[in-house]
Amino acid sequence: MTKNKTKRLTRTRHPERNRRRFGILLLGITLLALGVFIIRFFYISTGGKVDSANLAKERAKQYTTSQTLKAKRGTIYASDGTIIAEDASTYKIYAALNHTYVDGDKKNYVVDKDKTATVLAKYLAMSKAAILKVLDQPGLDQVEFGTAGANLSLALKQQIEKEKLPGIGFYDSPSRLYPNGVFASHVVGLAQATSSDTNKQLTGVMGLEKSFNNILKGTNGWRRTQTDTYGYELPQAKVKAKAAVDGGSVTTTLDAGMQSYLETLMTSVQNKYQPKTMTAVLMNAKTGAILAASQRPTFDPSTGSGLSSMWRDILVEDGYEPGSVMKIFTMAAAIESGTYHPNELYKSGSVTVQGSKISDWQLGGWGNIPLSQAFPRSSNVGMVKIEQEMGATTWNTYLQKFGFAQKTGIPLPGETAGNYAVKTPLEQAITSFGQGIDVNALQMMQGVTAIANKGTMIQPRIVSKTVSPPGKTTTYDRTVLGQPISSETASEVIDLMRQVVTADYGTGGAYKMPGVDLAIKTGTAQIASPKGGYLTGTNNYIFSVMGLAPASNPKYELYITMKQPQKMTAAAETILASIFKPMMTRALALDDNSTTTTSGKTVSVKAVTNDSLTAAQKVLGDQQLKVALVGTGNRVVQQLPAAGSQALAGARVILLTNGAMTMPDVSGWSKSDVLKLAQLTGKKFNLSGDGYATHQSLAKGSLLTDDAVTVTFKNQ
């Protein structure tokens, strides 16, 4: 037997020894792995780290919940403290369906779907069957109710919460309340949510809301704590927080009463004559403070109605050829430069410049007349003659002095600087009567302040004060831009503007106001055609009027433009006068009436929420505020204006009480007050007409339901 054969036999005879060796090897490997695990466990337990990760911090992250503390967006005020735009919250309702949502014995899910649907149908614009269909969705942890369950008011949220329905909760989201509806809408602007994230702040997207967004928006805060898997705070949880900083405020120069009146007049003309666009601005010529400003088309920021038809602020974003109102500046430049010779005769009717014929509005003219009649007659040919004697260099110098082709700097987004050219004799000629030059409405207002202020030009203002967090106040005072003309020249121009109204050949007879010393210039500007040249037709013009009163010492400056009225059933001057005369009358009455029904005093509305009705009425009555009641209870659960808001003495505060929600008597209420009622109750109100409420479709004391209430308004 060989040696190798002997070895193989030896191995086969001792299998037990082989198994023993394998077992020892396996045990050794196991003990080694266990040893490594024990060492690793000891290292982790004592060091608290896995690789570079801190276990304590990672565990804390799993149980840490962050909450955004929302900042309130600041308020925009009229000059008297009336709220134009303010912060508000709307709510979205949801229903939890997952049966694991419990807190001890408390069930945080919908327990009785039939009862829940029955109750919610009383508050949401949905039928019980529709609500049940939403609730009967298997496999979903949570459901919402579409548009019917969104944008709910605080009052409606509180009413639903009183029903104590298990599983029903609310998300809140910031919103903006514009209590006056159409009220200088493009000037004030709009703030909107730019994301579906309810923690995101509203952002100003037009007007003052956009220009002063950084002041108004505020800064969100945060709160961090430890919670369990259901969101409940753990015992002895460490809480870290940073408080939210609410937004500041913007106080405008707008006069609430004058602005509301202007909106009423503008709406009347818009409805009757249907111009494509229209603007109107009333300004204090001494200070530059804009008291009222409006345009058509416009929109209601509280509902969004009309927004899709016009996003632009026509007052500053649209450039246009101003027409004959521009002759104010032609005359001022010529008089100041010493090139105006009033007694010089010229042949009216038409004149040819560089091969182009320029005509007067009265094509045959008025024969040979003195240059002194060119302005009140609004003669284009006369203006060309005056400009030619002045010279292009001098004319260009005064155009620059009056601020044309330069932005006014008013804090409204998108202002156009406009432009003009005076390189050729034809360009020079047509700018003298307001063609071939693009302006914006506030440039025209700014230039005319030099006429009103004895030669001193004042910058237009729409904001009087801002307060930025944490309380820094910035005031915007009267700003002098220069002295383009002398006091004597300004006085001569005013005399010429008087003649537009008083002379039997003046173009402004429609604007005569008994007992009012008025300085006027009318305008009729051609509109450039997309095909070249200008449009033709009796209504294809921009009609305008610029007026100062009282002319002896002008305080008020009113400028109105109207483009292409589609139903021109009256003369342009008659149409514009239907706005100009009542508006100027109202403005002048402010100076005449030193004694009014209210003192003009503003008060900070006191907090009366949760007070008894009797106590609340006394507190607000002592502040000289009117009280309106909604509901049958004896305790106040909500108020508008909110506590701390500025309100004019004599203003109305609406109180929502506990108990059934009932309709108040709104006779004599303004649209602003009725809109506050809608916000407070969460009910739908249809507003018809302008002025003050004269009729309501739901009687006083009736229960407010989901049916819309119509309130009719008329001017008193």
Q: Residue 323 has which token pair?
A: 């027409």
Give the contacts of 651 (CB within 8 A, at least 6 positions apart).
82, 625, 626, 641
Q: Which long-range contacts (CB under 8 A, 24 or more apart) does 237-245 make?
A: 241/69, 242/69, 243/69, 244/69, 244/70, 244/71, 244/72, 244/218, 244/219, 244/220, 245/71, 245/218, 245/219, 245/221, 245/469, 245/470
Which of 398, 411, 185 has the alpha carbon at shortest distance from 288? 411
> Is 216 in contact with 191 (CB distance < 8 Å)?
yes
Phi, psi of 349 (to 5 degrees): 115, -65
Q: Which long-range contacts (CB under 8 A, 24 or more apart) does 307-311 make?
A: 307/190, 310/186, 311/206
Residue 330 amino acid letter:
T
Residue 631 amino acid letter:
G
> Is 493 in contact with 484 (CB distance < 8 Å)?
no
Which residue(s) pair with 251 in the sheet?
77, 465
Q: 3-state class of 567 per DSSP?
A: coil
Phi, psi of 516 (to 5 degrees): -110, 125
Phi, psi of 37 (to 5 degrees): -60, -45
Instruction: Tell me 508's DSSP state.
Output: -
Which of 66, 562, 636 has the alpha carbon at shortest distance from 272? 562
Phi, psi of 620 (to 5 degrees): -70, -35
Phi, psi of 668 (to 5 degrees): 85, 0
Q: Is 89 exposed, middle or buried (0-12, 13-18, 19+ CB in 10 A)?
A: middle
> Is 363 in contact with 350 (CB distance < 8 Å)?
yes
Peptide bond before residue 470 is cis, with ω within 30 degrees of 0? yes
Distance CA 353, CA 616 (A): 76
Other CB atoms within a 10 A radius of the CB of residue 33 amount to: 10
Q: Are strands 626-630 and 652-657 parallel, antiparallel or unpaired?
A: parallel
Q: Which residues are known catalytic residues?
A: 324
Peptide bond before residue 641 is cis, with ω within 30 degrees of 0? yes
Distance CA 217, CA 88 (A): 13
Which of 180, 176, 172 has the alpha carbon at shortest distance from 190? 176
Which of 626, 654, 651 has the alpha carbon at shortest distance from 638? 654
Residue 7 amino acid letter:
K
Which of 184, 194, 191, 185 has the alpha carbon at shortest distance from 205? 191
